[in-house]
């Protein structure tokens, strides 16, 4: 039997944050929109985001919060759809929220409210959402033909919103990258980002029995610096400072950690009467670092002597502790995928391919990666909005 042919103005692959936002905008403009979602439900990542409370945007969102081979690319979309625009939508639906820290907005209740809001808006815009739909093939002639097991969808516009490779058990696939390649678009090599780092075996032996200990540090790599918490894990380091810097880290570069930002731990010795010994040093370290970590770090980095020069060297090491991670925890634990469809291939205003008219890429599949703190969703909303306004 020939497949059922369904005509739409726009077909969107992927019913995540970016795909749903794009569908809403296109539907509001009277376009006949279909969203084809591979999983049995849309927005699974929204549901697990922000520890179940969805950090849906950040009040301090700017282009500097994003990593891309072209740092200017995201500017236009971020200016056209701002955190205030998304907040207005959240407030229209009566969803209560709060600022947790550093401009990060979370639901008071549950991430489910954000997904329900998007689904309600989709219904109002008459978007057809088809879940558990596997795309077998995409071809392009005068229009796009998207073949699934039991139907053939045809439309002049195709939006790829299939996300990145992070958390494969939630349905993440490399489909968007493969399709981009098939249609002749360049890809910046995808890599796990916002991901815990693994310590090299020697450091693991030294520190990982302290799993659970955390401290406020500055983690840096090249010119990127983040002052936030670091957490020791069973295999390495995590916590916001490490997740943030992981997005910038490429082996074999070291990650440099300031263990006591703004503090001078050897200040105790400025007092001429202070006893110059390990005991004084230990006491000073324990004032600023968690006890167990302070003791361990000093044990492994004890000064050769207590001369001014040796103490100054210790102070420098403390503010510039170099670690050489052996790798990352990979896509299983990465919050996002960096890299993706090369932004040179896309219009910054509409996200449309420069080579293939009618083809759009939005959200995480594009080589734009946000910092931790609601920026990745803001990019999904903004890029989805721009494509939805153009299709």
Ligand X SMILES: Cc1cc2nc3c(=O)[nH]c(=O)nc-3n(C[C@H](O)[C@H](O)[C@H](O)COP(=O)(O)OP(=O)(O)OC[C@H]3O[C@@H](n4cnc5c(N)ncnc54)[C@H](O)[C@@H]3O)c2cc1C
Interaction site with ligand X (CB under 6 A): 13-19, 36-39, 42, 44-45, 48-50, 54-55, 135, 161-163, 166-167, 171, 173, 175, 335-336, 363-364, 374-377, 380
Residue listed under structure tokens 């110059």: 276
Long-range contacts of the stretch 239-242 (C-beta < 8 A, 24+): 239/214, 240/372, 241/216, 241/217, 242/196, 242/197
Which residue number, 137 or 202, has a Cβ lying nearer to ligand X?
A: 137
Distance CA 282, CA 277 (A): 9
Which residue number, 19 or 236, has a Cβ lying nearer to ligand X?
A: 19
Which residue number, 258 or 352, has a Cβ lying nearer to ligand X?
A: 352
**Residue 303 beta carbon to ligand X: minimum distance, rounded to whole angstroms:** 42
Q: Which two tokens stand for residue 137?
A: 């093939």
Which residue number, 81 or 375, has a Cβ lying nearer to ligand X?
A: 375
**Residue 6 beta carbon to ligand X: minimum distance, rounded to whole angstroms:** 16
**Residue 175 beta carbon to ligand X: minimum distance, rounded to whole angstroms:** 3
**Residue 162 beta carbon to ligand X: minimum distance, rounded to whole angstroms:** 4
Distance CA 120, CA 24 (A): 9
Q: CA geometry: angle at 253 spanning 252 and 257, to 5°? A: 135
Distance CA 311, CA 294 (A): 16
**Residue 44 beta carbon to ligand X: minimum distance, rounded to whole angstroms:** 6
Which residue number, 39 or 82, has a Cβ lying nearer to ligand X?
A: 39
Which residue number, 37 or 216, has a Cβ lying nearer to ligand X?
A: 37
Distance CA 19, CA 43 (A): 9
**Residue 379 beta carbon to ligand X: minimum distance, rounded to whole angstroms:** 7
The stretches of the chain forming alpha helices (DSSP H) are 17-28, 44-48, 75-80, 83-92, 112-124, 175-182, 201-207, 240-246, 278-288, 291-300, 308-319, 375-390
Burial (CB count within 10 angstroms: exposed 0-12, middle 13-18, buried 19+), residue 147 = middle
Residues in CB range of 167: below 8 A, 6 or more apart:
45, 331, 332, 334
Which residue number, 380 or 391, has a Cβ lying nearer to ligand X?
A: 380
Distance CA 228, CA 102 (A): 11
CA 389 to chain centre: 24
Give the single-character DSSP code of 127: -
**Residue 106 beta carbon to ligand X: minimum distance, rounded to whole angstroms:** 8
Which residue number, 45 or 319, has a Cβ lying nearer to ligand X?
A: 45
Q: CB nearest ligand X: which residue?
A: 16
Which residue number, 48 or 302, has a Cβ lying nearer to ligand X?
A: 48
**Residue 103 beta carbon to ligand X: minimum distance, rounded to whole angstroms:** 12
**Residue 169 beta carbon to ligand X: minimum distance, rounded to whole angstroms:** 10
In a 13 Å sphere around the CA of 252, the CA atoms on its Cβ side amount to 1
């Amino acid at each position: 039997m020939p497949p059922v042919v369904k005509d739409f103005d726009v077909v969107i692959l992927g019913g995540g944050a970016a795909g749903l936002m794009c569908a809403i905008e296109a539907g509001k403009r009277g376009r006949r929109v279909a969203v084809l979602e591979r999983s049995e439900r849309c927005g699974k990542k929204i549901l697990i985001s922000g520890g179940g409370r969805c950090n849906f945007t950040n009040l301090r969102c700017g282009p500097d919060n994003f990593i891309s081979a072209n740092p200017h690319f995201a500017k236009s979309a971020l200016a056209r759809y701002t955190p205030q625009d998304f907040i207005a939508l959240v407030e229209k639906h009566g969803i209560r929220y709060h600022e947790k820290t550093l401009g990060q907005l979370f639901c008071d209740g549950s991430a489910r409210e954000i997904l329900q809001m998007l689904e309600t808006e989709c219904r109002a815009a008459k978007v057809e959402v088809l879940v558990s739909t596997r795309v077998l093939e995409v071809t392009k002639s005068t229009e796009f033909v998207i073949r699934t097991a039991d139907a053939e969808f045809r439309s002049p516009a195709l939006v790829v919103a299939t996300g990145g490779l992070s958390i494969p058990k939630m349905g993440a696939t490399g489909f968007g990258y493969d399709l981009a390649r098939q249609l002749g678009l360049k890809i910046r090599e995808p890599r796990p980002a916002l991901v815990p780092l693994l310590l090299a075996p020697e450091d693991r032996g030294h520190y990982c029995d302290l799993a659970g200990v955390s401290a406020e540090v500055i983690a840096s790599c090249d010119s990127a610096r983040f002052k936030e918490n670091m957490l020791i894990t069973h295999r390495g380091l995590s916590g916001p400072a490490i997740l943030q810097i992981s997005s910038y880290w490429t082996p074999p570069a070291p990650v440099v950690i300031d263990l006591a930002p703004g503090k001078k731990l050897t200040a105790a010795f400025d007092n001429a009467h202070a006893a110059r010994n390990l005991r004084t040093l230990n006491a000073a370290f324990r004032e600023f670092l968690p006890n167990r970590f302070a003791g361990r770090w000093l044990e492994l980095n004890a000064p050769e002597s207590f001369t001014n020069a040796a103490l100054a060297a210790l102070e420098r090491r403390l503010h510039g502790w170099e670690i050489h991670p052996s790798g990352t925890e990979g896509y299983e634990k990465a919050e996002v995928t960096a890299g993706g469809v090369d932004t040179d291939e896309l219009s910054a205003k509409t996200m449309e391919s420069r080579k293939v008219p009618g083809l759009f890429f939005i959200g995480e599949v594009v080589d734009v990666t946000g910092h931790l703190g609601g920026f990745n969703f803001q990019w999904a909303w903004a890029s989805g909005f721009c494509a939805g306004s153009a299709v």
